Structure 1
Amino acid sequence: MRKFVLALFTITMISCSSDNEKEDSEINIELTNEELLTQSNSWTFAEYRIDEILETNGVTLMDSDIENQILQENESFEEFTLSFQSSGNGTTNEPSNFQWELVTTELLRLTFGTEVDDYDFSITESEMILGIDDEFEYRVDENTIVGIEVRASIIFN
């Protein structure tokens, strides 16, 4: 009888411990947006994507036309990085520092010197997306430049 009780006790302990191990391994720890932002050494520019053309001042344009011009005029985008420290400071791979603030879980404020920009913001462990309404001049041809407004996403990995 004693062996039976001991065997029953052992089986109970084994089944309880494997349940606990299973429960522990199933627990997913979700990081906050601030933790996701600061855990990476740096975020590297991956893509500038037009989400919506807001204003073309009468000129017919495709998203790719605008994206190509923006990337050609800003070749440094290709190697641009942002690094965020938990102190609210940040650095780039260019000679400029910035301050950052998560205004809400979906709004990121970046301050470069006196220039303050608010970005719609989403983040995962492998991708950060900054959404912005952007205005710039678009060269239609040698003689024609028009003001363009777009809603765009700046994607970092």
Structure 2
Amino acid sequence: MTDTTGEGVPTAADAPEGAARHDYEALGFTTRGTLIERMGIEVEEVAADRAAARMPVAGNTQPAGLLHGGASVVLAETLGSMAAQLHAGRGRAAVGIEVSATHHRGVREGWVRAQARALHLGRTTASYEIVVSDDAGRRVCTARLTCMVLDRG
């Protein structure tokens, strides 16, 4: 893949058809056919210590027309779990054991972007703070995820 970010991180747009779009897929995992795809989440970057993605508000709302809080949590847990899997590495698995979220404001249209940042990368656990923001850069949700890192057996 070619680096278009200037930071040594290949982006999804750099991958040829059928090729891994980021390091998570290079480990043999796919987002195709999953809830990630169904919600329209577009993963932009994944590394063990950080991850970024965006998700459309349309199709992810509650009956009042606002972005569903659960959709924000899905976005947050997706990013943290993907980063934790890269931290775990081949032959190990990362599984979420705790997630919490504070919803700060509603969003009715556009996209939300999420940035995950590692808080702790240990031998058996990995924790992340994930900030979800609207198109204007305003914080919509702050989430925290802890994953357990296990040997695959």
Give the TM-score category using the shorter length: under 0.3
Q: Which structure exhibits the higher relative contact order, with contacts defined as CA atoms closer than 8 Å and separated by 6 or more residues?
A: 1
Larger radius of gyration: 1
Q: TM-score, normalization: structure 2?
A: 0.26
Q: Which structure: greater strand fraction?
A: 1
Q: TM-score, normalization: structure 1?
A: 0.26
